[in-house]
Amino acid sequence: MVKAKEELLVVLGKNEKPQESDMSKLPYLDAIVKEIFRMHSPIGRNSSTWNNPNSFVPERFIERKMDTNKDFNNFELIPFRLEEECVPQFHWFIE
């Protein structure tokens, strides 16, 4: 988390709080959020999809240059399951 603190200090300064508009200037913090989503997704710990799937490595998203705001084909980051037993009205979504 030292890298995240340093990034926040450099980009925002000592007394500023991050805003949503700052995320484009905070790539390491963005990578941490993506890594948390990955680790809590149904296939986030799948070794055929991820190297070292049980390790917390935010840098993997800096290397992949994945933009989840624009690239909706990255289903490995979905942090929840969309199945009938999880969502009672599931059939409404697929009809």
Q: What is the pLDDT of residues 29-86, one digit of tens each?
A: 989 988 888 888 777 888 888 889 999 999 988 877 655 455 445 555 655 555 544 4
Determine the 3-state secondary structure of 10 from DSSP: helix
**How many CA atoms are closer than 13 Å to the CA of 10, on its beta-carbon side?**
11
Domain ranges of the chain: 2-94
Indicate the Cα dihedral angle 7, 11, 12, 14, nearest 10°: 60
pTM: 0.68
Q: Report, as an integer, the average pLDDT of 12-28.
A: 87
Q: What is the pLDDT of residues 82-91, one digit of tens each?
A: 554 444 544 4
pLDDT of residue 94: 47
